[in-house]
Amino acid sequence: MKVELAGMNIDIELVKEIERQDLATPETISAAYARISRSQKDVTSLRLDALNEVEKARQSNSNIIYDMGHSSIAEHAVFNFDLIGISRLMSELIHRSRLASFTEKSQRYVTLKGDYHIPEEIKNNDKLCDEFNKMISKQNDLYQFLYQKAVEYLEQTGFEGKKRELEGKAKEDARYVLSLSTITQMGITVNGRSLEKMLQRLDKSTLIEAKMLRQEIEQQVKPIAPSLIKYTKADTFGAAVTDIPKIYDKQTIRAKLIDISIDPERKILIAHLMDESGYSFSQAKSIVTQMDEQQISESYRKIFKGLKGYHSLPRSFEMCDLSFDLSMSSSCFAQLKRHRMASIFKTNYHPGMAYSIPPLLQKLNVEKEITEVMEISANLYEKFETLKFGLGAYCMTNAHHLNVLMKCNLRELYHFVRLRSDNHSQWEIKQISDEIMEIVKGYLPNATTAMSGKDGYNQF
């Protein structure tokens, strides 16, 4: 056996110190690994060959990835990006990349200073710019007011926890009145294949901010890896259906199960038995079909024995698919969207939808101030939408609701509930997670025996 570290992501400042900048490209790794399947050379030699002939490696990548269609070769190249000064709205679009890793500035833990993105679309419109600036100022002033008022209330009512936790609770609820134009920053780790898809998605957006971001990323990465990042423009494939009238449903139900696999608990056991024993599908199905309810229950108890909060469930739990109709605030969606292994679809933002006022803020008797800000946001939304479809979203707040369709398997749902039903989770997504867990336990009493927030995993 021989194992060699072939590469790793390092800071760009260190890369700049490399004397041969023409060799500072992940394309050589992709080209070397692409040749493994058809070469008798060991992979270390293939890497050295690619380093000695970068242009040849690039041509090889282009042929294999784009002409032959082996796109996974581009996944061997990995990039890190600092995204600074993008809007919260834009971060939602970035997060749609499933096979990428993100860490974003949290409005729950960082006290915001009022920085915001002014859309390029309105910069030549003095009247709209003035109204937008006044709206943001109003929102930011209310944020600071609510934050201080919430801190005082929590201190007076005997909040149990450290000062940092108290302030965090106040921040996470005060932020509901901030707009989606609020500035954020994030770090991204993404492979070449996913990056190309991300750039296409940014280009497809009607927003100038998205197109500028696409251009900035492309300008930095294309000189380094021209053979991996090629098709970055959007095309007509998957175009939106534009001739359907848009209706906005002010939904009040937070979570509703709308679809589930047939006989899921037995399907999971069949797959688990095949994986563990080597039985064929027919053999495993015959065994599980003959099980009574007590035997099924006992089988799941054996599976869950020794389960800890850091464990992933067996892949057999992926045999059960579930779909949910959800309604939540943008603030809550910011956390849901991180569960990228789920299939998540959302409505556009619209002031006709509901909006959430956190329970803590309801206790402060500030609904009048919040309602006033929401009305200003709604009025400006209509003016922005008249200028360009989708532009009004910059005026919406973290409190405004989205209707969401989420499809996931039971294994992924366990991960979701483990994080979101934990006692340290944010209140709104915890409510939704708890509702989902209660619903699913009614349908899958055995397969969900171990489902809980991570603070409840010690019982196994």
DSSP string of 302-349, one letter each residue: HHHTT--TTPPPPGGGGG-EEEEEEEEEHHHHHHHTT-TTSEEEEPPP
Q: Would you state the structure tokens that stand for residue 23, as one six-digit string?
A: 């060799």
Q: Would you state the structure tokens that stand for residue 210, as one six-digit string?
A: 């998205």
Q: Would you state the structure tokens that stand for residue 357, as one six-digit string?
A: 């006022």
**Catalytic member of 201, 301, 340, 418:** 201
DSSP string of 117-163, one letter each residue: ---GGGTT-HHHHHHHHHHHHHHHHHHHHHHHHHHHHHHHTT--S-H
Cα separation, 391 vs 387, whole angstroms: 8
- Asked if residues 129 and 122 have their Cβ atoms less than 8 Å apart, the reply is yes
Cα separation, 161 vs 167, whole angstroms: 10
Specify whether 201 is catalytic.
yes
Torsion of CA 362, 366, 368, 374, to 10 degrees: -80
- Asked if residues 192 and 75 have their Cβ atoms less than 8 Å apart, the reply is yes
Torsion sign across C-alpha atoms 439, 440, 444, 447: negative
Q: Is 116 exposed, middle or buried (0-12, 13-18, 19+ CB in 10 A)?
A: buried
Q: Would you state the structure tokens that stand for residue 149, as one six-digit string?
A: 């008022």
- Asked if residues 404 and 336 have their Cβ atoms less than 8 Å apart, the reply is yes
Could you give the residue numbers annotated as active site? 201
